[in-house]
Structure 1
Amino acid sequence: MEKSYKTLKEYGEASFIERKSRFISYSMPATTEEQAIEFLNSIKKKHYDATHNCYAYILGESASIQRSSDDGEPSGTAGMPILEILRKEGLTNTIVVVTRYFGGILLGAGGLIRAYAEGAKLAVSAAGIIEVRAFSFFSVHIDYSQLGKIQRESMKKEYLIKDILYTDMVEMTFLIPPEQKDALIGDINNWTNGNAVIEHIKNDMMKVDLQTGRPL
């Protein structure tokens, strides 16, 4: 089973002015280097007249691919600050591009580092952060008479009932963290006096809201 990781919820965009230079930052989820480069090229095409289009991306569930570019800014003043923001937030499968239109006033190395880091922060904030976690799907077949009790008890235990299908029996689909497998099976058997049919369907990675812990 894959391990959990953080990534962006969606596309994000932000802008600000620093000493007459205009910074426009963009962020996007990406799962492959091809996707990241395609997004980068779309920004470069959009801002073909910009002074710089600096970027950083981290890819892979273990953040094994990390790239950045200063795109003509002094070495270490643009791409690396963007990359450090992604690392600080614990993000992967993420690309951030910060475009700069030079305003005529030099910012100096420190000013550039702060500006590009701020651009990355704003882009990440605009997109939002989610977590991708492993979940197990279980199918539970029960009699109609047992439905109310299982719904009540599941709510107390915070088990997530994803679907309920009504046929000659009730088929409930539970979505739980893998480590809750034994607890779920034990509880279902206890609540139904062993009269439920419990089947593991699959394991899958799901996007999760960081505030609620619930799949999106």
Structure 2
Amino acid sequence: MLQLEGVLTDKGSKYAVSGGVVRTRAEVDAFLKQLKRAKKYAKATHNTYAVLLADGGLKGDDGESGAGMVILRMLEREGLTDHIVVVTRWYGGVKLGGDRFRHVQTCVRAYLDGLG
């Protein structure tokens, strides 16, 4: 698992990104469960994710409408399969509007760069 914390902060909201290799829906569920074992991630406002598996893409917005699709499209463009990417947000009290999608992209890009 690769975890990057403190990727960015905007108007009090803080972002982190995590990911790792998964090959089945069960492994996706296990990855998310493992991530949320850390109290910090369990208490996050949103843990949005996407993954491209052999039988198609999966995504979850966790209340951050549209964020899972942003991640999924970036994974499709990169051709990164069997790899989950989770963008975590701790809400800071101020709505970010469309900036939140740019922040999701920034987090995914940081993760992809971290993979080397």
Give the structure-2-normalised TM-score. 0.87
CA distance in 1: counterparts of 2:2 and 2:103, whole angstroms: 17
Structure 2 residue 33 is matched with structure 1 residue 50: no
Structure 2 counterpart of 1:17, from 9, 26, 36: 9
Q: Which runs of 5+ in 1 are unaligned?
A: 1-10, 129-216
* CA positional deviation for 1:52: 0.8
Retained in 2: the 8 A contact 1:13–1:126?
no
Confirm or deny that 1:94 pairs with 2:86. Answer: no
Note the C-alpha offset of 1:85.
1.1
Q: What whole-Å deviation, never above 9, does each CA across 1:69-128 have from its counterpart, x for those lacking one?
A: 11012x31x1111111111111101100111101112110x2111111211111222123
Matched, 1:37 2:37: no
SS in 1 for 2:37: helix
Aligned pair partner of 2:57 in 63, 66, 81: 66
Identity %: 37
Distance across 2 between alignment mates of 1:124 and 1:12: 10
1:151 maps to what in 2? none
**d(CA) in 2 for partners of 1:84 and 1:70?**
14
AA at the equivalent of 1:13:
Q
Select the residue among 96, 111, 115 that pairs with 1:123.
111
Please show how residues 201-216 of structure 1 align to structure 2 within 5 Å: none
Query: How many corresponding residue pairs?
Result: 112
CA displacement 1:124-161 (0-9 Å, x = unmatched): 22123xxxxxxxxxxxxxxxxxxxxxxxxxxxxxxxxx
| Residue 136 (structure 1) aligns with | none
1:113 aligns with 2:101: yes
**Pairwise CA distance, 1:28:** 0.6
Distance in 2 (CA, whole Å) between partners of 1:123 and 1:29 is 13
TM-score where L is the length of structure 1: 0.49
Measure how far apart 1:18 and its partner are: 2.4
Query: Residue 81 of structure 1 is aligned with which of 56, 70, 87?
Result: 70
The alpha-carbon deviation at position 44 of structure 1 amounts to 2.3
Looking at secondary structure, tell me which structure has more helix per residue: 2
Specify the code of the residue in structure 1 equivalent to 2:58. Answer: R
**Matched residue SS, 1:13:** strand
Alignment RMSD: 1.4
